[in-house]
Amino acid sequence: MVVFMVVRLLPSDADADIGSILESVSKNLPEGVRVGDSRVEEIGFGVRALVVGFILPESEGVGEKLENCLSTLQDVEYEVVSVTRV
């Protein structure tokens, strides 16, 4: 089985390059995790978030490894929006 985890990435700077954030995330994913979907979400007042759907194996510790990877992003906060079995 696999899991689909949706995460909202919110840069601290409204002028941040969303594309480079996605590229940075994609390069540093834990083994077995891949990006399934991504989109830019307008928050308001020029602030944008990157919403990314990750596909990961349903095995112990993989979600935690992904969150650890996301926590290393400089000047970007993240929020897990949903986790669903696929």
Radius of gyration of the chain, Cα coordinates, nearest whole angstrom: 13
Strand, coil or helix: 43: strand
Whole-number pLDDT of residue 45: 86
Written as tens digits, the pLDDT of the chain (86 aa) is 999 999 999 999 988 999 999 999 999 999 999 999 999 999 988 889 999 999 999 999 999 999 999 999 999 999 999 999 98
Provide the whole-model pTM: 0.92
> What was the pLDDT predicted at 30?
94
- For the chain, the domains span 2-85
Candidates 3.30.70.60, 3.40.50.1100, 3.30.565.10, 3.30.70.1400; CATH matching 2-85? 3.30.70.60
Q: Which residues pair with 11 in a beta bridge?
A: 76
What's the pLDDT score for residue 29?
95
Query: Which are the contacts of 49, defined by CB distance < 8 A and separation ≥ 6?
Result: 8, 9, 10, 11, 40, 41, 43
